[in-house]
Amino acid sequence: MNTDYFDRFLPLIDAEMRKVLGNDFPFYAGHYGMLRYHMGWVDEAFRPAVVNSGKRIRPVLCLLACEAAGAPAERALPAAAALELLHNFSLIHDDIEDDSPTRRHRPTVWALWGRPQAINAGDAMFTLARRALYALAEHHASAVQMLNVFRNFDEACVRLTEGQYLDMSFEGRMDVTVDEYLSMIDGKTATLIGASLYIGALIGGAALETRSALAEFGRQLGLAFQIQDDILGIWGDEAVTGKSAASDILARKKSLPVVYALADTKVGDALRTLYARPIEDADVPAVLDLLADAGAQPYAASAAQSAHQHALEALDASGVLADDNPAGQALFALSESLLNRSS
Amino acid sequence: MNTDYFDRFLPLIDAEMRKVLGNDFPFYAGHYGMLRYHMGWVDEAFRPAVVNSGKRIRPVLCLLACEAAGAPAERALPAAAALELLHNFSLIHDDIEDDSPTRRHRPTVWALWGRPQAINAGDAMFTLARRALYALAEHHASAVQMLNVFRNFDEACVRLTEGQYLDMSFEGRMDVTVDEYLSMIDGKTATLIGASLYIGALIGGAALETRSALAEFGRQLGLAFQIQDDILGIWGDEAVTGKSAASDILARKKSLPVVYALADTKVGDALRTLYARPIEDADVPAVLDLLADAGAQPYAASAAQSAHQHALEALDASGVLADDNPAGQALFALSESLLNRSS
């Protein structure tokens, strides 16, 4: 896509988020310091730092949806900031739940300040994300519009916790169904991306049909992206993804290809036997053979393709793809760049 | 106080909370089951149970404030449920942060289902508390009124995480000031009690001055209650409190009497020396002597008394203490029963 939008939006999103996490009352320096560290703005001694801080996909989609609906993107900035902070809340807690000591090549919050403070830091990020939304009142939003934004935001939060529950519950299970898997990624990833578009379009003044079509575009985009991620986690090119090949196999992740193969009558039992104990490098070829026998890669590729197709249909139905709507065109270009990747 | 209010309110609060946690979609049975377990409604196999489930102080104060403001208490039920669920979110995460294996004589959520799921269960309780508020729309609340409720609720959430941060940060410190201590209990306890009254009064249609006075009543009530708790944690009668005498000394808790004595020029150094390593039963008399030398008990008693006095002044200023306002009278009676206790 045209990177002008990123160049224009990212500093605005950053500034809006810094306002929300800007409390500098001395008693709470350590508290807000942890949050700013997680965002990549300071180092672990709370000195200013510049580090890679994530792709900011959700807020950019939100701003594009607002602009595609016909209003200045700036009007949706408080919501864009809220969505990115919410995503970062989930990362802080995910890192504790997954016992991950590093994120983006730096120690995670819990690794530096311990789990108790990190749990509370995540709670703070969660509630500050919500607080970011009140600045919509300074951008011409009515009370009814704001309540509608809150409602969508809060429903996405509920789905986020449901998806996270499912994801963690899969670890100890060999009977995960494809439906459960799809509900998991819908809650954990797709709903929030859908909400980002819905909320942006709502603030931009779009009619209900346009908002709903854009939400569906975002949801399907999220599903397609996540399923692609599952494919790359098993068959991705190590040199391109930066993760070790078959990393999801070694982690025994219940990703879509695995869930599909576990339900296969031919290979299911053999795969369950392998997945019942830790998987070593030497086991990987056997797992790959079983996945191949089940046709797990073409199945997953077709599921990703189908979600991709549904995303484009919904985007088209939203009516923002007109030639005179550059933000709508940018939504199309961004979704294509997200889905045509090899890493 | 007249217990009729509790008899009338508790079943209503309970029913409202059960609606919020009532998701029975099979995929999420384990997720919502954990939340219902924490609330005391089911046992660990998710079979119906009846267990002691807390005093429900916050929702009762909220409903009384609504009724004292002149509207039916039922109108504030969604907010009452939200406040109690929010309190319970904080308990689920506190139990993980404090590594507490039991609460109310049952295993805590993390002790049964592990820390990762318990962190996420707390997040779910947090977001479902917020979701409970939307039912206000079914009780004649306008969008502006609802936004005002949200705002107070969210500010209380921010203060809750700030207070919790301070509380945990005190553990490793010997230089905690009385001001920091007061900010900690203000965030961790008092602000949410104040918000319970503010929100109830707001829904009841009270003018800003009445709401603010009731919020201050609640805040001071919370401060007085917490300082009393600190006094009982050191000098309480074991037979009455049910906790071992001097339990807060053995836990080296930085409660108000201790913070005060640590800052005392006469005994501070000696107390710091004792608190620098784990405290055994045999050390308790020496700590008690130092606290006595610093005058820590009369100091804390006077701080509690002062907050109690401020609470009553604010309640009086709110104007709800008229003879023809039984709910206002009940607020007075409830605060007296909370503050005239020995356990």
Nearest CA in chain A to B170: A27
| Res B192 pLDDT > 80 | yes
Flag whether pLDDT at A247 surpasses 90.
no
- CA dist., res. A172 & res. A189, Å (int): 21
Q: What is the mean pLDDT of residues A43-71?
A: 94
The minimum CA-CA distance between A7 and chain B, rounded to whole Å, is 32
The pLDDT value given to residue B1:
52
Q: Considering CB atoms only, which of A98, A115, A147 is closest to B147?
A: A147
Instruction: Report how far residue A231's alpha carbon sits from residue A213's, in angstroms, rounded to the nearest whole number.
Output: 27
What average pLDDT does range B53-79 have in this prediction?
96
Residues of chain A with pLDDT > 70: what percent? 97
Using CB atoms, which residue from B93, B121, B143 is nearest to A147?
A: B143
Q: Which of A89, A109, A119 to mutate to test the interface with B (most CBs of B within 10 A)?
A: A119
pLDDT of B50 reads: 87
pLDDT at residue A341 above 80? no
Please report which confidence band the pLDDT of residue B242 belongs to, taking 50, 70 and 90 as the band edges: low
Say yes or no: B147 contacts chain A, CB-CB below 8 A: yes
Q: Does B109 touch chain A (CB under 8 A)?
A: no
User: For position A238, what pLDDT does the model report?
Assistant: 75
Give the CATH number of domain A1-140: 1.10.600.10
Segment A28-41, tens digit of pLDDT: 999 999 999 999 99
Output the CATH code of domain B4-338: 1.10.600.10
pLDDT-derived band at B53 (thresholds 50, 70, 90) equals confident
Could you tell me where the beta strands, DSSP code E, fall in A36-155? 102-103, 106-107
Q: Please return the burial class of A53, using the count of CB atoms within 10 Å of its CB with bins 0-12, 13-18 and 19+.
A: middle
Nearest CA to B199 among B39, B13, B64? B64
* Closest residue of chain A to B132, computed from CA coordinates: A154
Task: Give the pLDDT score at B323.
Answer: 92
Nearest by CB to A127, from B120, B146, B158: name it. Answer: B158
SS3 (DSSP) at A295:
coil
* pLDDT class of A2 with cuts at 50, 70, 90: low
Distance separating alpha carbons of residues A123 and B158, to the nearest angstrom: 9
User: Are B124 and A162 a contacting pair at CB < 8 A?
Assistant: yes
Reply yes or no on whether the pLDDT at B238 is more than 80.
no
- The answer, yes or no, to whether residue B343 has pLDDT greater than 80, is no
pLDDT in tens, B247-265: 899 999 999 999 999 999 9
Helix/strand/coil (H/E/C) assignment for every residue in B25-93? CHHHHHHHHHHHHHHCCECCCCCECCCCCCCCHHHHHHHHHHHHCCCCHHHHHHHHHHHHHHHHHHHHH
Q: For the residues A210-218, what does the mean pLDDT come to?
A: 98
A 123-142 near B (Cβ less than 8 A): 123-124, 126-128, 130-131, 134, 142
ipTM for this prediction: 0.96
